[in-house]
Amino acid sequence: MKAVILISGNGSNLQSIIDNADRIDLQISCVISNNKNAFGLKRAESSKIQTYIIEPELFNSKEAFDRELISIINQDGAELIVLAGYMRVLTPVFISNYFGKILNIHPSLLPKFPGLNTHQKAIDASEKIHGASVHFVTDKLDDGPIICQESVTIEAIDTAKTLSDKVLKKEHIIFPKVIHWYTQRRLKLINNITATLDGKIL
Ligand code: GAR
């Protein structure tokens, strides 16, 4: 199955998807970044994957930016949009175009800690357990039916950085796994609100 991957930064999740692409039946049509300095662009280029940079400053609205995104994605006939550390909020224009076809990974056990700085927020809240979630994207930030979560234990010595490293290791396992469910057409979003795997509600 063809997919487009959207990134904004380091791209370690992108790398784990590239490394697993054959095994999970994924063809990466292109990688698109809203940040021209994203290291993930270099990772894509090293794997001979087409890259695009869309610079937000060149657009006078979020909708105009997203329409450009849509026009690039539609060139390639991708059936899946993967948000791998994509740090821009998508507009309803974008989401309605690809409803049920957008997967996001978020570094917390949603619905806890949407938004930014999730690791520090978990430490500050004296959480004992933290983790990562993969979910279908709906029109609210870091919201949408949860597909898969993996947890890590927060130790007294953990900092936001050590916690981030632990959570990323889990992300690199669960994201390719969920994408594989999708490419096998086992994972679906039904009635716009319910994620199912093999017809069973997740
Ligand atoms: C990951 O931890 C991902 O879960 C998070 O950004 C990081 C990107 O790392 N995404 C979000 O916070 C989305 N709300 P990476 O660029 O090394 O894959």
pLDDT digits 0-9 by tens, 128-172: 999 999 999 988 767 899 999 999 999 999 999 999 999 999 999
pLDDT in tens, 37-66: 999 999 999 999 999 999 999 999 999 999
pLDDT in tens, 110-123: 999 999 999 999 99
The rounded Å distance from CA 191 to ligand 1 centre is 28
Active site residue 119: no
Q: Judging by beta carbons within 10 Å of its beta carbon (0-12, 13-18, 19+), is residue 5 exposed, middle or buried?
A: buried
Structure tokens at 87: 């740090």
Protein residue with its CA nearest to atom 2 in ligand 1: 107
pTM reported for the whole predicted model: 0.97
Domain positions in the chain: 2-201
Q: What is the dihedral of CA 42, 44, 50, 56, to 10 degrees?
A: -60
CATH architecture assigned to 2-201 = 3-Layer(aba) Sandwich (3.40)
Protein residue with its CA nearest to atom 12 in ligand 1: 106
